[in-house]
Structure 1
């Protein structure tokens, strides 16, 4: 199964698209990970939103993309999430490859920084990201900064 990808600025999102992406982020980052945190953090307006939909329109994968200086000094990718209903299709790699390609299309080829959950370190390393610094806690979950040159 492959996904249909679109990338939109905040103002270009339709209300149903915004609702779908916020619902997916809440389902995974708040409910599944049992983490009470402020997902709606005021940064959505500065981001491009990468949406991966199935042929029947279901949101299966999502990420936020930021130009340099918006979130970090470098271009960045965040809120990387695959719907639990679609994890058996290994969309995580497809999502990250698409996010990297979209960052290059939007912002030009340059380093990309992420704040990754530590347990996913090997996955991100396989995509060319290198750990930068020590483990830090964000909402009681171990994270690391990683950079892709």
Structure 2
């Protein structure tokens, strides 16, 4: 029998259950676990009080990774091009504290970009990254498209990839 996944024994990303859903397809439990994880990471861990529920979730696609025990371990959302922004936008990228360093960020972004490439092959993709993650996103073809600026006390930069 395999030992349960923990920070010292992280799950292999291919052993995770990946769920890619539109908002209306999410169950109440899935919405709760997503919002709980976003609050834990972005509000509590980063000591950043902001309005996470921003009315963008309903029009977004949501990619979530769950471990064998059914715990949410990684998440991001994808906002579709609209009249205000012609880019596909990736946001709210997170891995939960106990599972960081296991390659989940790479797996999340790879899966999201694969989906975006299939759906919107010629559409640029943008994201609003914490400045210290520029090299991480750069490895996926993103380049800064703004100066580093303060967002709720945390240095951020807009990044863009010409295509997924």
1:71 CA drift (Å): 6.8
CA distance in 1, matches of 2:58, 2:135: 31
Residue by residue over 1:110-140, the C-alpha shift from the partner in whole angstroms, topping out at 9 and shown as x without a partner, is: 2110011101011111111011121122112
- Give the match for residue 135 of structure 1: 148
| 1:144 pairs with 2:157 | yes
Tell me the distance in 2 between the aligned counterparts of 1:102 and 1:23: 25
Partner of 1:35: 48
Unaligned runs of 5+ in 1: none
Q: Deviations over 1:34-72 (max 9, x none)?
A: 001111111110101111111332111000101112773
Residues 106-117 of structure 1 mapped to structure 2, 5 A cutoff: 106-117=119-130
- Whether the 8 Å CA contact 1:72–1:113 is kept in 2: the answer is no
When normalised by structure 1's length, the TM-score is: 0.93
TM-score (norm 2): 0.85
Q: Match for residue 3 of structure 2? A: none
Deviates more, 1:89-98 or 1:100-109: 100-109
SS of the equivalent of 2:141 reads coil
Alignment RMSD: 1.4
**Hey, what's the Cα distance between the residues in 1 that align with 2:28 and 2:103?**
28
Which digits, 9 at most, give the CA deviation of each residue in 1:9-44, with x for residues without a partner? 111100000000000000000000000111111111
Per mean C-alpha deviation after superposition, the further-off stretch among 93-102 and 10-19 is 93-102
How many aligned residue pairs are there? 149
Cα separation, 2, equivalents of 1:70 and 1:54: 37
The structure with the largest alpha-carbon Rg is 2
Corresponding residue number in structure 2 for 1:24: 37
- Matches of 1:122 and 1:42 in 2, distance apart? 30
